[in-house]
Amino acid sequence: MYSEDYDGAYARERNGEDVFSKPVKAGKRTYFFDVKATKGNDYYLTITESKRKVERDGSFTYDKHKIFLYKEDFGKFVEGLEEVLAYIKKNAPQTEDGEGNYSSEVNFEEL
């Protein structure tokens, strides 16, 4: 991300009012889907990936990555995500589970 993009996104997020949040625990990671509102009451989404790390001294820290998704980009984002998920569903390699059973690494019944 370019510094001017980062500065603008950070300023909007810092000032954004929390509207709704949905945490999703997935193995070692937690994803946070946060709806925020601008001062003009325009909604946007932040998606944060948080992964707990154990430091050498035994303490914990969290490695976080965040993206900002604005409503004018929702349609294109969903289109791209659906296309990628369809590709994975069709092309994901089959793996053996140790008992001779083969299955896709992705559980698409949950999608």
pLDDT for 51 equals 94
pLDDT for 29 equals 93
pLDDT for 82 equals 97
Tally of domains within the chain: 1
pLDDT for 96 equals 63
Q: Which helix (H) or strand (E) holds 107?
A: none
Q: Which domain holds residue 23?
A: 3-110
Q: Strand pairing of 94-96 and 102-104?
A: antiparallel
pTM over 0.75: no
CATH number of the domain enclosing 40? 3.10.450.700
In sequence order, what E strands does 1-111 have? 17-26, 29-37, 43-54, 60-70, 94-96, 102-104
pLDDT for 86 equals 93
Which residues of the chain are under the pLDDT cut of 70? 1-15, 96-111
pLDDT for 12 equals 46
Helix, strand counts (H, E) of the chain: 2, 6
